[in-house]
Structure 1
Amino acid sequence: MSLFHFKQFVINQEACPMKINTDGVLLGAMVDLAGAKQILDIGTGTGVIALMMAQRNSGAQIDAIDIDAAAAERSKQNFENSLFRAQLKSYHHGFKEFFELYPHSKYDLIVSNPPYHLNALQSPKEKTNLSKHTTQQFFFDLLLASKSHLAKNGRLVMVLPVETSLMLQTTAKDFGLYPHHIVKIKSYPDKAHIRHVISFSLSDDEALSFSDFCIYDQQSVHSLQYKALLKDFFKIF
């Protein structure tokens, strides 16, 4: 059994096409939860991001959806086995189907660690394709759907490869969403940025701001930033 022990919950990853990864835990620990009472996690996988948000915000109700049946069932089990089960619900739906079923739903926060290989050579394994590969149209559909289901002051937050983030920064306004903050993530101080945690809102009144985050100080030595961010979750800190 593939178990990952956090300080306040345990994740069973068995049969999930997307395992716990750095992108997901950074998003779960980093996303601003201020004022977020209704949250949607799109592509929840193991449910780790939803569980991290539930631990951080005891007043939030979190819906977690995944298009993969095994992932949806696994996240449901992980939720039910946690201290935060009352805050969490898991659904086996893609976001389009989910919003069709719940057309009047509104969220203060929508988060996603979406498929990240954009228009890349796909794996012969279908489950791997679903969890890791996508197209520009996927993101356009996600922006459009999110815009319709965000509360007035709601936010859409995603962790993305830099090139995908740059693409969405220029196209999101066409779908009624505007980037207002980006955390630029790099592995080492002397390396290029590899990910953006990008936050969109419905308002274009706020100037786009940036912050930097580094995972390692040197080989196998986590940065103080990383340790401070994950100290409430990882047993090693």
Structure 2
Amino acid sequence: MSDQAFKFKQFSIDQDRCAMKIGTDGVLLGAWSSLEHSPKSILDIGTGTGLISLMMAQRSDAPLIDALEIEENAYEQAVENFEKSDWGDRLFCYHAGFDEFVDEMQDEEKYDLIISNPPFHSEDYKTGDENRDQARFSDALPLTELIEGASLLLSEKGHFDLIIPFSEEQKAIEIASSHSLFPNKITRVKGTKESPVKRSLISLCFDKKDTVVDELILEISRHNYTKEFKDLVKDFYLKL
């Protein structure tokens, strides 16, 4: 992935100092997350370049959009990306670990929407690039810690939305239930109709009700995108 700025329809993102570059997962989550409950406060955990926070700023009128990033270079770049956007007055980035942030904020702030594209590689190997490993590997922010912390920061009627590997879906639901969070909607993502499910988009809330489960297929063939995918991301990608 290039270090060049990534241009979207209403904002651009510099990513030359970020270990993890712009990817489909983040764009999917930022476009998929429901705003029907009109959140007034949003938290983006592990913001990286600031992509999802900027997507939330474009899509919503929320006056408070907080982002959290532990890696220093990514934090600094996210701040710069926020400042050069049209929504800099609504965007704020904290440079801290999630556990530290939860300890500090759980009695101070409750968020109507918490959103995260968390690190998910739990394999035993590492790349050797410390910043990339921190951004990419789940031992930097275990799923259990992420869900428990989100449950402490979420408002009563709020949603916690995340994207994870499909293989982690059941584990995430079990962890969530132990913190009184339940799946409101699950969208399973496939590259093509024939390919296996790769990702799960999950929206968790404190209200236990029937889960809406559907499927999103990204491509008909290489670079030939489905109507469903194009409709989802058309407000962001320049060429869709």
Unaligned runs of 5+ in 2: none
Q: Report the TM-score, using the length of structure 1 for normalisation.
A: 0.95
Q: How far does the alpha carbon of each residue in 1:135-161 deviate from its partner, in whole angstroms, 9 at most, with x for none?
A: 497111111111111101111110000
Mapping for residues 70-89 of structure 1, pairs under 5 Å: 70-89=73-92
- 1:1-237 → structure 2 map (5 Å cutoff): 2-34=4-36, 35-103=38-106, 104-135=108-139, 138-204=142-208, 206-237=209-240
Deviation at 1:51, TM superposition (A): 0.4
Report the Cα distance in structure 2 between the residues aligned to 1:38 and 1:73, rounded to whole angstroms: 22
TM-score, normalised to structure 2, is 0.94
- Answer yes or no: is the 8 Å Cα contact 1:13–1:74 preserved in 2: yes
Q: What does the per-residue CA deviation read over 1:102-132, in whole Å, with 9 as the maximum and x for residues that have no partner?
A: 2321000110000011244222221121111
Structure 1 consecutive aligned stretches of length 4 or more whose deviation exceeds 4 Å: none
Which AA in structure 1 matches 2:163? V
Q: Which runs of 5+ in 1 are unaligned?
A: none
- Residue identity in the other structure for 1:79: F
1:59 Cα offset (Å): 3.2
Secondary structure of residue in 2 paired with 1:175 = coil
SS in 2 for 1:86: coil
Aligned CA-pair RMSD: 1.5
User: What code does the residue aligned with 1:172 have?
Assistant: A
**What whole-Å deviation, never above 9, does each CA across 1:175-220 have from its counterpart, x for those lacking one?**
221122101100001111100101111122x112201111101122
Corresponding letter in the other structure for 1:218: S
Number of aligned residues: 236
8 Å contact from structure 1 (residues 16, 45) kept in 2: yes
CA displacement at 1:97 relative to structure 2: 1.2
Among all aligned residue pairs of Structure 1 and Structure 2, give the percentage whose two residues are the same amino acid: 35
C-alpha displacement of 1:170: 2.3
**Which letter does structure 1 place at the counterpart of 2:122?**
L
Q: Aligned partners of 1:158 and 1:152: how far apart in 2?
A: 18
d(CA) in 1 for partners of 2:145 and 2:201?
Answer: 19
